[in-house]
């Protein structure tokens, strides 16, 4: 694993310092060319409280930099893209970002295969082909064990949801929750050397292999952790004929209330807050 941005030391200094048991990790899942973020999530862990909070940022979220507006998924394709994406997520959520991970989907596929797949109830039939991205999705609805390629298809599919990308985000969060419950267990931690070996080729991050091991160990009883999730508060909107997701002006305040004042999974679920 390696740190991406030009001037590694400078980029590491750009990240916020950790606060005790808490670590906020910005995860960007990238497409084949590696310059657009297909998945953007802020994973907020607290080993002392045994909580995992997940904020999904829709890839169509509108951001403005130096007077120019564009979708947040385009940040990585710009100069100092990792730092730019980190800065925008920090502004949108009002949360510190202690670590950054950019992972390609090949790595995700291989990691899931190493861990023996994930049991998951696929919500709808999924059929989609994109030869340019070498993406072929053909899944039937219902409970099944997904291998790495199938899990990638599940996470990237969005054309069949009534609410498009927001429906996909709901499935992404639900899948990650199930994966954490199933795989954050002691017997899988012993497979971490193979996982970390795979990450060396597919993940760019400031986190070391030891950091990853410690994080997994902290949550080795994943089925007992409190797992909360939501979408960045906001609403979809067309501007100039382009589909955007507009973050609520007080999105940071809403997230603070949801995660640190409500404090229960039943209050959060996997939902969009407007």
What are the tens digits of pLDDT across the range 150-176?
999 999 998 878 777 888 999 999 999
| Bridge partners for 46 per DSSP | 22, 51
What is the residue extent of each domain of the chain? 8-104+186-272
Residue 262 has pLDDT above 70, yes or no: no
Secondary structure letter of residue 20 according to DSSP: T
Report how far residue 93's alpha carbon sits from residue 110's, in angstroms, rounded to the nearest whole number.
Answer: 31
Per-residue pLDDT reduced to its tens digit, 196-245: 776 666 778 888 777 887 887 787 765 677 888 899 999 999 999 999 99
The dihedral region occupied by 4, where left means phi > 0, alpha psi between -120 and 50, and beta the remainder, is alpha
Structural contact between residues 91 and 262, judged by C-beta atoms closer than 8 angstroms: no
Note the Cα 33 to chain centre separation in Å: 18
Which letter does DSSP use for residue 136 in this model? E
CA distances from 44 to 12, 143, 230 (A): 18, 28, 12
The pLDDT of 67-94, averaged and rounded, is 93
In CATH, the architecture of 8-104+186-272 is 2-Layer Sandwich (3.30)
Helices (H) and strands (E) in the chain, counts: 10, 15
pLDDT band for position 149 (cuts 50, 70, 90): very high
Is 274's pLDDT higher than 90? no
pLDDT in tens, 20-64: 788 999 999 987 777 788 899 999 999 888 888 999 999 999 999
């Amino acid at each position: 694993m390696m740190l991406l941005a030009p001037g590694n030391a400078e980029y590491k200094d750009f990240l916020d310092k950790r606060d005790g048991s808490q670590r906020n990790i910005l995860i960007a899942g990238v497409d084949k060319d590696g310059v657009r973020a297909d998945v953007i999530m802020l994973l907020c862990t607290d080993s002392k409280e045994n909580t995992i909070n997940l904020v999904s940022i829709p890839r169509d979220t509108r951001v403005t930099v130096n007077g120019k507006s564009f979708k947040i998924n385009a940040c990585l394709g710009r100069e100092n893209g990792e730092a730019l994406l980190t800065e925008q997520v920090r502004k949108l959520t009002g949360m510190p970002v202690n670590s950054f991970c950019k992972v390609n989907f090949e790595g995700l596929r291989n990691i899931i295969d190493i861990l023996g797949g994930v049991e998951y109830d696929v919500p709808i039939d999924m059929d989609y082909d994109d030869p340019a991205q070498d993406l072929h999705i053909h899944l039937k609805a219902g409970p099944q064990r997904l291998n790495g390629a199938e899990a990638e298809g599940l996470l990237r599919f969005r054309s069949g949801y009534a609410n498009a990308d927001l429906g996909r985000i709901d499935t992404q969060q639900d899948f990650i929750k199930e994966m954490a419950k199933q795989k954050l267990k002691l017997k899988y931690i012993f497979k971490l050397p193979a996982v970390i070996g795979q990450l060396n080729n597919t993940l760019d991050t400031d986190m070391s292999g030891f950091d990853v091991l410690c994080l997994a160990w902290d949550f080795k009883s994943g089925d007992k952790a409190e797992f909360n999730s939501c979408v960045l508060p906001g609403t979809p909107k067309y501007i100039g004929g382009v589909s955007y997701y507009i973050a609520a002006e007080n999105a940071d305040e809403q997230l603070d209330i949801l995660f640190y004042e409500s404090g229960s999974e039943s209050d959060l679920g996997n939902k969009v807050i407007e």
